[in-house]
Each structure stands twice: as structure tokens, then as C-alpha cells.
Amino acid sequence: MYDLGIIGGGPAGYTAAERAAANGLKVIIFERGNLGGVCLNGGCIPTKTLLYSAKLLESAKSASKYGIQMEQISADFGKIMSRKNKVVRKLVAGIKAKMNHEYITHLSAQAIIRSKTIDGFELKAGDTSFDVKRLLICTGSENIHPPIPGLQPENVWSSREALSAKEQPQSLTIIGGGVIGMEFAGFFNALGTKVTVIEMMPEILGNMDSEISAMLREEYTKKGIVFHLSSKVTKINGKEIIVETGQETKTVVAEQVLLSVGRRPVTAGFGLDVLNIDIHRGGIAVNSRMQTSEPCVYAAGDVTGFSLLAHTAVREAEVAVNNILGKDDEMSYTAIPGVVYTNPEVAGVGETEDSLREKGVDFHVLKLPMTFSGRFVAENEGGNGLCKIIVGKDEKILGVHLIGNPCSEIITTATLAIERNLTAEEWQKSIFPHPTVGEILKESLFAMNHSC
């Protein structure tokens, strides 16, 4: 009998196993693929590894701006991919080491929920049955494949195929202008591939601040990426993509097509129907303690369908384990930071202007160019960027949105300010080290306090 059975070894699953075992629970974790889930093996980490190579290439090409002369700059696609594989292997090995704990049993197998028992639940992997007192479901998400005529796996990449490509395509059409689509657009564009992005919405990065998203699109347009917004793919015919934009029909031709229109929770294939658990918006419904409608069954990560982000999954797993241990803990989605690791980076947390208008909430905004930070000017020759802070009528920080490097490392400060319900004046009293790009937040707060 195990204290906790975990189905899925992604960020939520392996975090939960580690936290539970550290607190003395006997854990069994099932993962049919590699530990780390999509994030480590086919998403977050491999794409960021590729994007760092692309960023170095772009930096080398613009080195003359900084007084550095470099000649014969080129990229080796094979070596870039090989390094990505090495990074993934190293990090997977690190997670395996964490699972090598006396209280953790790790099985490389698909677990199936067989039944609810008097003492808990019966799981089966292969021909072996396992009894667990509590169950944590962390089965993650999968790519969405819309019913587009001509859409066949053999002629269209998903992110997984793009990450395992052997050769760089000369031209690439990306269907979907979300986070994943834009990161691949940035990577292949930096390497010299002709990139086209087709997006159904009026703007890319639909969940991010629309002004910031437009700034990134304008920057990428200057780099040669072609965008078709408010456009729908109606058919794929080999290398031809038929696109409808309003009343106009266009044909886009590309050597390779990458489909990136989103992901959905995985709720089938492991016997969930045995438990008759409530489903909400395609994912497993949970309360603030990450409990499902079956009190001894918890869920965390993408399978809940709420925030398909690895860092959200980690916190959800912590909340679930804490409650299993009898420690009162609740999940808060007030301040979930989002980052797009393009060049320049985009980051945001909290409410956007659009979301607040939809809710009818009064707010005011202060925007400052990132060039108000001396460190930014020193390290981003010719760059501009933007810092936007949104404040409510009570002066509480409601949202912060940034474009410019390295805003991925700055957004945590804003996340804490929103989560801790700080006012602009309270946050402005914090001391920021000088010179740092993060000082743009303090400069913006000072300007806001003297303009509102």
C-alpha cells in the first residue's frame, strides 16, 4: 500500500513525488515516457536551448554596434540540435536522480485506474496491481489538431517534430501565433529560414497585453517574418496552404508547415471514467486545494485545463501535497507570470487593459520606455522596449507587462507585488540594485506616483 500514487512524471508529477517523499510519504509515480514530461522533453527546455543559440547568433551579427568586429558568422544546425539533446539528457538525468529516493518507486509504464477500494484505489501497470491511499493525476496535455482538410501528420510538424528536425527548412509556415508559434518563428528566422505566421485572431499572443504583442510583431516584421492576422487556414495541399482573410483567399507556399494552435488536457487512456470525476472545460475540475470531486483524488498541471504552464503545475503540485499532508494550503491564480522567450523577450503578469475593460474595472496606466534603465541602454544598442504598470483606483498593482531583454528575469518582482497586494507607493519603496534593467519598475512607479 502506497500513501500516494502519481500518474504522470512531468513538472507536477515529479515535484509532487519529491515533496511527498521528503515529508515521509511512500510514493509510486508512473510515467510511460521520459521523466520531465512535455516541458523538459518536447517543450520549455529544448525550445529555450535552441532560442539561446539563435540569440547568440543575432548578437554576433550585431556585435559591431558594440565595437566588436566578427567575420564569417554562421550557424551549424546539426550542432545546435545536438546541444539541445545534450541539455535535455542532462536535466532528465537530474530528475531521475531526485526520484532515486527510498520513499519513491518510479515505474516507466502507463498506469490504469482499475477501481476504488475500501482503503483507496487500485492501479494497474502491465500485469501488476498497486494499491494507493490517495491519487494525484498529472497526465498533462496534448497538441490540438483542428479538422483542416489535407492536414496529415506526415506533412505537418508539431512542436515535437520541429524539435527533432535533422535539417533546417528554407521556408516555414507556422499555423498559430501563440507563444510556441512565436518562439519557433524567432528561432528559425534567426537562422535564415523564411518564416510566415498565420493567426486567426487580430493579434499574435492572444493572452498577452495587446500593445506589447503588437510591438513584438512589428519587431519581427522588420526581421522579415510575414504575418497573416485574422486569417483562417481552410486547406493544406502538400506545400500549399490555402488561407482565408475576410473575403480574400490566399495561397502560401512553404517547404515545411508547423502546426501550433494550442494544447488540451489529457483525460483519456488511464481509466479516469472509473472514478466518475467532474470535468470542467475539458480538464479535471478541482477546488482551491487541488481536490477533484472525489476527495482522495487530486489533480495538478495541464490536466486541470486552467493554466498550461510548467511553473503553475509546480505550485499546484505543492498545494496538493500540502493538503494531503494535512497542511492547509490553497492555490492562487492571481499572479501567474507568462513569458515569451523571443528576442526581444516578452513578459506579463496580472490583468491586462483589455481584461480590465471587459470586467468594467477602473484603472490607470503608466508606460516608460525600457531606455529609462541605464543597464538596458548599455546592453541593448538601438533597442527600445516598454514597461507598462496597471494600477487600480485603490492604487493596488493589477498588472505589469514588459517587452525587452531580460524581462523574463524581472517579472518575478512584479508577480510578488501583485500576489502580496502591494500598492504602487509600497512597491516603490523597495530598493532595486543599480544598475539593473529591473530598475525600470521603480522608475515607472516613481513617475506614476508623481503623475496620478
With beta carbons less than 8 A apart as the criterion, state whether 351 and 398 touch: yes
Which residue among 106, 228, 401, 434 is the active-site one? 434
The answer to whether 16 and 320 are in contact (CB under 8 A) is yes
> At which residue does the C-alpha cell 539528457 appear?
89
- Among residues 87, 237, 218, 253, the alpha carbon closest in space to that of 151 is found at 237
3-state secondary structure of 263: strand
In the residue annotation, 434 being an active-site residue is answered as yes
Residue 155 CA to residue 180 CA, distance in Å, equals 19
Q: How far is CA 108 from the centre of its chain?
A: 25
Q: How many CA atoms lie within 13 A of 311 on its CB side?
A: 11
Dihedral (CA of 436, 437, 438, 442) sign: positive
Neighbours of 85 (CB within 10 A): 13
* CB atoms near residue 334 (< 10 Å): 13
- Does the bond joining 344 to the residue before it have cis omega, within 30 degrees of 0? yes
List residues with catalytic annotation. Answer: 434
